[in-house]
Amino acid sequence: MKNYFRYIAVLALSIVSCEPEFEDPIDEEGFYSNGEADFSNYVALGNSLTAGFADNALYISGQENSYPNILAQQFAVVQDTEGFRQPLVNDNTGGLVLGGQTIPGFDTRLVLSFDADGSNPSPQNYRGAQPTTDVSTKLEGSFNNMGVPGAKSYQLAFPGYGDLSGLTTQPATANPYFVRFASSPQTTVVQDALAQEPTFFSLWIGNNDVLGFATSGGVGVDQTGTFTGANPIEYFSTYGPNDITDPNAFAAVYGQMVQDLSASASGGVLINIPDVASVPYFTTVPVNAIPLDSQTATALNAQFAAYNDQILPGLMGLGLLSAEEVQARRINFTEGQNFVTLRDESLTDISQIIQGAPFNLDAQTAGLLGQLRQATVGDLIPLTSSGFLGTTVGGDPMMINGVSVPLGDQHVLTTSEQEMIAAATQRYNETIAALAEANGLGLVDANATLSRLASEGISFDAGTVTADFVSGGAFSLDGIHLTPRGYAIIANGIIDEINDTYNSEVPKVNVGNYTTVTLSNDVQ
C-alpha cells in the first residue's frame, strides 16, 4: 500500500499547482506602468460632470460610471491604490430631500418612456420610487470624488458651501450635494480635497460659469470685466446664479486651486471647458420648429402686415430704426416649417413709441411687438422649451407661443448671447492651457472631444457615438450631462493625456461596455 499513499500525495500536490496561470498576467506589477505619476491616492475635483451626474439627477449607477471612478478602476490595474471612495447617494431614483420634502429643483432622474406601442420616446421623471437621499444625513470620512453638481469655479473655494444652514438662506449660499459630505460647515471643496493629500488629481471646473447663463437662455449678466482683484469672496457674492463669471476672476481662483493641488501631488490633469452651445440641450429643438399650412401662414402674415409695411418703415423714417434692424424685425410666415418669433433684448424697445401717434397701438399689442423678431438659423432653443412652443396663451387660438406671441428671453439663446458665452469659454480655456503648461500638468481637450461628438462622432466597436439627443449615446436625457458611455469617452481622453504627459501605460476602457440612456415607463 506504500506506493498507493505516495501516489495520493502526488495527487494532492498536483491539485494545488493546477490552477491556470498566465505567463504574463496583467495584474502583476510591471505589466502596465504608472510612469512618473503616482495614482495611489487619486482625488477628482469638479462639478456635476465629475460627480457622475446624468439625466438631471445624481444616482448610484451614474456615480459608479463617473469618469473619475472609471479612471480609478484603470489606475488600480496599473498600480496598488488606496481605493476610490465616492459620496454615493442613497438610491437609483435621484432627487434630494430635506426634512421629508423633495427640494425644489432637485427632482428624480429622467428616464426614457414610450407610448404603449413603443413609439414616441420622451424623457420623463422617474416615478417608480420616492427620492430617499436626505441632504441632512452626513456622510462620514473623506471622498476621492469631490465632484459637486452645480459648482462654479469659485465655489470650490467658497467657505460655507457645505453648510446645511446655507441651503435655506435667500439666496442659498450652500450646495446640497456638498452639504452631504463636507467635513465641516465652513470647509471648502478644495480644503477637503487637499486634506486627503492626493498623489494625483484631476480638475474639471468652469462649465457652470457659463452654463447657467446658457441654460437660462441668457437671462443672467455677463460679468466679464467687473473683477477688480479685491476680496474675491465678497466680489463673487454679488453674482447671480445665471451670470457669466469674469474670465479674470476665473483665472485668479483657478490658478490658486492648481497651485494648491500641484504642490504635493505627483501630477494631475486639467480638463478644459466644452462649448456649451454644442450640447443637445441646445441643438435638438429646431429653430424653425413651427409647421404652418398656407392658409394659416397667409392669415398670420395679414396680422403682421401693418407691422411690416407701416410701423417698421415708419420708425425707420423717424430715424429710430436702422435699415438693418428693420430687416431683422420683419415677420414672414410661409407654408411649411417657420422660424419661431422671439423677444430679443438686444433690439431697440419700441413698445412705448408705437403706443403713441401715429401708430396708436394698445399696450398689449405694443408689448408683443416691442422687441420682436423672427429667429434665424444661428439662434438656439433650449430642450426644455420644446414643450412650450406652439402652446396657446389662455386657450386663445390666435395667441400661439413662438408664432403670434414671441418667445421670452429664457426660451432662446440668441447669437449675441452665444458670442458672450463663447468669448468667456475661450478665455477660460486659455487660462487652463497656460496653467497646465506652467505646472507641467496634463491638459485634456474635452472641448475638442465634445465637438467631435457633435460633428462626425466617435467610433467604437459597435458603431459611432454621437451627440444626437437620445439616439447618439453620449448625452443623457437632460441633454447636457453625459451617459456612462459618454463619461467613458472622457475617461479614455484623460488616460491618453496622462500616458502622454507622465510616460505611463494606463489601459483605456472599452466604450461599448458602458450603457447609454435608461428606459422605463414608471413615470406616472
Distance between CA atoms of residues 360 and 14, nearest Å: 102
Smallest gap, in angstroms, from Cβ of residue 35 to another protein?
15
Give the number of other CB atoms < 10 A from CB of residue 380.
26
Smallest gap, in angstroms, from Cβ of residue 274 to another protein?
24
Which grid cell sits at 65? 460610471
Smallest gap, in angstroms, from Cβ of residue 520 to another protein?
5
Smallest gap, in angstroms, from Cβ of residue 474 to another protein?
14
Residues lying near another protein in the complex (CB under 8 A) are found at 1, 3-4, 7, 11, 14-15, 18-23, 25-27, 31-32, 60-61, 64, 74, 77-78, 92, 111-118, 121, 126, 128, 461-462, 485, 506-510, 512-516, 518-522
Side chain identity at residue 479, one-letter code: G
Strand partners, 125: 110
CB of 362 or CB of 461, closer to another protein:
461
CB of 13 or CB of 438, closer to another protein:
13
Is 339 strand, coil or helix?
coil
Smallest gap, in angstroms, from Cβ of residue 523 to another protein?
10
CB of 14 or CB of 364, closer to another protein:
14
Smallest gap, in angstroms, from Cβ of residue 32 to another protein?
7
Give the number of other CB atoms < 10 A from CB of residue 111.
22
CB of 82 or CB of 115, closer to another protein:
115
Q: Which of 137, 419, 161 is nearest to 276 (CA)?
A: 419
Smallest gap, in angstroms, from Cβ of residue 9 to another protein?
12
CB of 32 or CB of 204, closer to another protein:
32
CB of 324 or CB of 461, closer to another protein:
461
Q: What is the DSSP pairing of strand 341-343 with strand 336-338?
A: unpaired
Q: Where are the alpha helices (DSSP H) in 52-199?
A: 60-64, 67-78, 176-181, 189-194
Which grid cell sits at 345? 433684448
Measured at the CA of 409, the angle between CA 113 and CA 331, to 5 degrees, comes to 100
Distance between CA atoms of residues 406 and 157, nearest Å: 41
Q: What is the DSSP pairing of strand 101-102 with strand 96-98?
A: antiparallel
CB of 114 or CB of 388, closer to another protein:
114
Distances from the Cα of 410 to the Cα of 213, 384, 512, 513, angstroms: 10, 10, 37, 38
Smallest gap, in angstroms, from Cβ of residue 514 to another protein?
7
Side chain identity at residue 87, one-letter code: P
CB of 108 or CB of 223, closer to another protein:
108
The owner of cell 505611463 is 504
